[in-house]
Amino acid sequence: MRKLTALLLAAVLVLAVPLTLAAEPTRDVAIHEVYIEGLRPPVAGNTPEFSANLYVEENPEYVLVYQYWHDNTEGHDMFSEQEPFDPTHQYSQGCMIAPYEGYYIAEDCVYHFNGSADLVDSVTESYFSGSYFVQSVAMDCVSAEFINGDVDQNGEVTVSDALMALRAAMSLLELEGDQFTAADVDGSYTVTVSDALMIMRCAMGLIEL
Nearest to 167 by CA among 200, 127, 132, 134: 200
Question: Per-residue confidence of the chain (209 residues) as pLDDT tens digits?
Answer: 445 445 544 554 444 444 445 455 445 899 999 999 989 889 898 899 877 789 999 889 999 999 999 999 999 999 888 889 999 999 999 999 999 999 999 999 999 999 999 999 999 999 888 999 999 999 999 887 878 999 998 889 999 999 999 999 999 999 988 899 899 998 888 999 999 999 999 999 999 88
Domains and CATH numbers, the chain: 2-140 (no CATH), 145-209 (1.10.1330.10)
pTM score, two decimals?
0.73
- 3-class DSSP state of 30: strand
Phi-psi region of 10 (alpha: psi -120 to 50; beta: other; left: phi over 0): alpha
* C-alpha pair distances (Å), 140 with each of 43, 85, 169, 189: 9, 10, 21, 12
Give the pLDDT of residue 94: 96
Distance CA 195, CA 149 (A): 9
Residue 123: which of 57, 114, 112 has the closest Cα? 112
